[in-house]
Amino acid sequence: MSVLVDRDTRVVVQGLGREGSFHAARMKEYGTKVVGATKPGKGGTTQDGLPLFDTMAQAVESTDANTSIVFVPAPYAMDAMLEAIDAGIDLVIAITEGVPVADMLKVAAVLETATTLLVGPNGPGVITPGQAKVGIMPAENFSPGGIGFVSRSGTLTYEIADLLTRAGLGQSTCIGVGGDPVIGLPTPDAVRLLNEDPATEAIVIVGEIGGSAEERAAEYMRSEGKKPAVAFIAGRSAPPGKRMGHAGAIVSGNQGTAESKVRAFEEAGIPVANAPSEIPGLVKKALRR
C-alpha cells in the first residue's frame, strides 16, 4: 500500500522548460513512469525522449496518464491546473511558486466538484520511496519503510527524511503539501490519508507558524488517530505579524502561533520536537508505546 503515488503512477509533465526537464529526468531515473509532457504547438514531437502533446486531454487519451506535475510559470499555472482537472486527471502536483491567491481561489472552487486531488502549489511534491517520486525532492534522502510524513516546508522535508533514513526509519509516503495560503491538500487531509494507510506505522507532521492547519490536524488525530505521531513546528522565534518565507506563514494575534500549534499537539498526546534532530528519537519512542 501507499498514499497518492506508487508503481502504477503515470505522469505527464506540464511545463517542460529548464526546471521541468531537469526534474522529469530525475523522476525517470528513480523509476517513475513519466509518460509525456504538454507543450502547446509542439504536439506530435518529442523532447528528452518524451512525447509532446498540445493539450492535457490529448496527453491523457494517448498515455493513460493519471497524474500531472506542474512546472508552468506562476502567471499561467492556474490555467495548467484547470486544464489537468478538466482532462479528468486523478492527481495534480503543483510545484510552481508564487501562484496568485486569486488564481488559487478559482482553482479551489473548481476542485470542490471535481474528482481530481491537488497537492501544492509551492511544495516539493510526493514520494513513495522505492516506488515513485513525483516532485523535486532529492531521492537519496528517502528510503522505504513505515513512517508517513507530511510537511509544509520543502527544505525541512529533505532534512527530516534524511534524519529518519540515517536512523533506520524508512518512509511509507512523504507529502509536501506546500506553504501557500491556498493549497489543494491541507495538512489535516494529508494526515488523514496516512492515518488510514495500512503501510504507515507512525506519522511525522511538520508544520509552520501561520494558519490553523496544524491545530486541525491535531484535533483530527486526537479523535481519529490510529497511528502514533510526532510533530515539529518551524518558525517558533517569529514575532507576531512577521512573514517567514512561505506566503502562508503569517501570525496574526493569537492565530497561527507556534505556541498554539505546540499546545494543540501536546493536548492530543502528540510529542513535539524542539529541533529536527529530535524527531527520529521521538518516533522510535512513539513506536515502542
List the pLDDT tens digit at each of the 289 positions of the chain: 579 999 999 999 999 999 999 999 999 999 999 999 999 999 999 999 999 999 999 999 999 999 999 999 999 999 999 999 999 999 999 999 999 999 999 999 999 999 999 999 999 999 999 999 999 999 999 999 999 999 999 999 999 999 999 999 999 999 999 999 999 999 999 999 999 999 999 999 999 999 999 999 999 999 999 999 999 999 776 555 554 455 455 445 555 899 999 999 999 999 999 999 999 999 999 999 8
For residue 202, how many C-alpha atoms fall within 13 Å in the half-sphere facing its CB?
23
Strand partners, 134: 126
Please say which residue of 69, 91, 119 terminates a domain: 119
Q: What's the Rg (C-alpha) of the chain?
A: 18
Name the residue among 124, 118, 182 with its Cα closest to residue 151.
Answer: 124
| Alpha-carbon span 14 to 38, nearest angstrom | 5
Q: Length of the chain, please?
A: 289
The pLDDT value given to residue 247: 47
Tally of helices (H runs) and strands (E runs) in the chain: 9, 14
For residue 275, how many C-alpha atoms fall within 13 Å in the half-sphere facing its CB?
2
Q: Phi, psi at residue 232, to the nearest 5°? A: -145, 135
Strand partners, 179: none
| Alpha-carbon span 87 to 53, nearest angstrom | 13
For residue 77, tell me if it sits in a domain: yes
For residue 142, tell me if it sits in a domain: yes
Annotated catalytic sites, by residue? 246
Q: Tell whether 163 and 276 lie within a shared domain.
A: yes
The pLDDT value given to residue 239: 57
Q: Tell whether 281 and 157 lie within a shared domain.
A: yes
For residue 22, tell me if it sits in a domain: yes
| Alpha-carbon span 90 to 108, nearest angstrom | 15
Please say which residue of 67, 92, 119 terminates a domain: 119
Q: Tell whether 102 and 141 lie within a shared domain.
A: no
Are 127 and 139 spatial neighbours (Cβ–Cβ below 8 Å)?
yes
DSSP 35: E
The pLDDT value given to residue 256: 80
pTM recorded for the entire structure = 0.93
The range of the structural domain enclosing residue 175 comes to 137-288
Q: Tell whether 213 and 242 lie within a shared domain.
A: yes
Name the residue among 180, 178, 174 with its Cα closest to residue 162.
Answer: 174
Q: What CATH number is given to the structural domain containing 26?
A: 3.40.50.720
For residue 220, tell me if it sits in a domain: yes
Q: Tell whether 60 and 96 lie within a shared domain.
A: yes
